[in-house]
Structure formats: C-alpha cells, structure tokens
Amino acid sequence: MKTKLLTGFFVTATALGGVLAGISPAHAFTWNNSWSQSPILSKSQTGFDDAPFQAFVQPERMEKVDVGQLLLDPTKLKLKFDHEVKVHFINEGAGFRNQLAYEATGTTTRTGLVFNDASDDVLKYGDGVSLGNVKAGTLLDFWLRADGRNGGRNIFGTQTAANEDGLQHVFAAAYNNYLVLGFEDLYGGLGAWGGKNQGSDRDFNDTVVVVDIGEDNIRAMSVPEPSITLGLMSLGAAGLMRLRRRQNSVVS
C-alpha cells in the first residue's frame, strides 16, 4: 500500500509540475542522423525578400534591435491555422557550422532537418526549405545542433527547459508578418568557462532564420491571451482533484 501511495504522490507532483512550468514539461530532442536535406529553394522560387531581416544579424541580442518587432515566447509557437511552413536562412554570425531541425507536436506530429549546414558558405541569404503543410493546433519547435556539421553534439532549442545548460538559446519575434528566430550556439552563461561552458557571448545571432507560418498565425501569436493561463490553471486544478480522488480510492 505504501508503494501505491508513493506512486500516487509522484503522479500528482508531476502533473502539478507540468502545470506550473506552463504548457508542456521539459522534453529531450533526439537528432536523427538519417534525415536528408529537403530541396533548397532560391529566393526567385519562393519570392521571399531577406533584406528587411538582415537587421537582426548584428553583435547584439534580438531584443536590442529596434525595427518595431514584437518579441514572442519561443516555447509557445503554436499554429492556429493550417499553413505550408517555410524556413528561410537569413544569415549567420558563427564560427560553427550549425545544423537546424524542427519538431511539430500536436495535430501534425513529425520531425525533420531544416538545414544540414546553416553556413553562408553553402546557403545564400533568403534560401528556403518547405516543411510541408502544418495543421492548426500544432506546436512548432526548432533545434540547433551546434557545429553539428563538424561533429558538434550540443543541441539547443526553443524549449528552454530542455536545454542542458538550462538557458534560453533562441529569441523569437514577429516582424513583417513573419516569425524571426535567432539562435545562440555556445554552451553556458555569458563569459562562463569551465566544465562544458564555452565562454558564450550570448549574441543570439549565430544562426538567424525567418519562418513563414502565414500572416494569420503571426497575428494570432501577437495577441496576448491572459485567459489561456487562467484556463490552464483551472484545468490543472481539475486534473489534480481527479488524481486525488483516484489516489484515495486506491488507498481505501
């Protein structure tokens, strides 16, 4: 009976932790080495113009760039409308040869490679890759394998809680009806050395991409929705009550 009680407690604690952490608990992302690179689409093929977004590649963080962008929570990039999602390479300010992957969770569930080598040695500014149609109700996450092209194995993504150093590695912003993502590819805090730390400059411009999720999705993401948090909290409380009842029935 003691074991059952303990199990009940852990289930309750995990559920509560998930609610407190926000929408989803931390999860690890597994890189699949058998992914292949989807066709790289040129600007003439997509009609995308990278010029307005070059302002995000400078020796500072994205929140310090002032072009009228709106900062978004990188952990909550959820689509409300179906869209053929495309990712465009803007620029890079890195010594590393970074790789970029994506993860769709929810209505559409799949993972895949975006850029096998997000370097300006191989990509032109504005080059794009289609991730295919992504359905409404899908959470989009992006994961960078730092220097992955040269064998690097550190993976940093939009889900901050899943990053091994516990730090934010992606800035997200809405600008010109697109989603802009800027990645930091060095492990650890600003200027920190020792252990796995790499004396990071925390400039968040090591790989910069623009994601075309459609104007409707960008508009929906740009509207603050305080009712969501409240709804989640009450949902969590209801779940907790159910678990307590279940736990009690096990004990009795």
Crossing angle for the helix pair 226-251 and 2-21, nearest 10 degrees? 180
CB of 16 to Ca ion, least distance (A): 36
Closer to Ca ion by Cβ: residue 122 or 240: 122
Strand partners, 129: 87
Residue 201 in the binding site for Ca ion (CB under 5 A): yes
d(CA 121, CA 70): 30
Tally of CB atoms within 10 A around 119: 17
Q: Where are the beta strands (DSSP E) in 70-158?
A: 70-72, 83-91, 99-106, 110-115, 128-134, 138-145, 155-157
Task: Count the residues in the chain.
Answer: 252
Q: Considering the rule CB under 5 A, would residue 120 count as an interface residue with Ca ion?
A: no
Instruction: Report the site for Ca ion in 37-56 (rule: CB under 5 A).
Output: none
Q: What track of x and - describes contact with Ca ion for positions 71 through 100 (by CB under 5 A)?
A: ----------------------x-------
Site residue total, Ca ion (CB under 5 A): 6
Nearer Cβ to Ca ion, position 127 or 203? 203
For the beta carbon of residue 108, count every other beta carbon within 10 angstroms. 19
Does position 147 interact with Ca ion (CB under 5 A)? The reply is no
Looking at 74-82, 125-133, 180-188, 241-249, which segment touches Ca ion (CB under 5 A)? 180-188
Q: Which of 206, 208, 212, 214 binds Ca ion (CB under 5 A)?
A: 206
For residue 124, what are the contacts with CB-CB under 8 A and spacing of at least 6? 42, 43, 89
Residue closer to Ca ion by CB (options 86, 143) is 143
Q: Which is nearer to Ca ion, 17 or 199 (CB)?
A: 199
Question: Which one of the spans 28-36, 118-126, 155-163, 196-204 is the region binding Ca ion (CB under 5 A)?
Answer: 196-204
Name the DSSP class of 188: S
Which parts of this chain interact with Ca ion (CB under 5 A)? 93, 184, 201, 203, 205-206
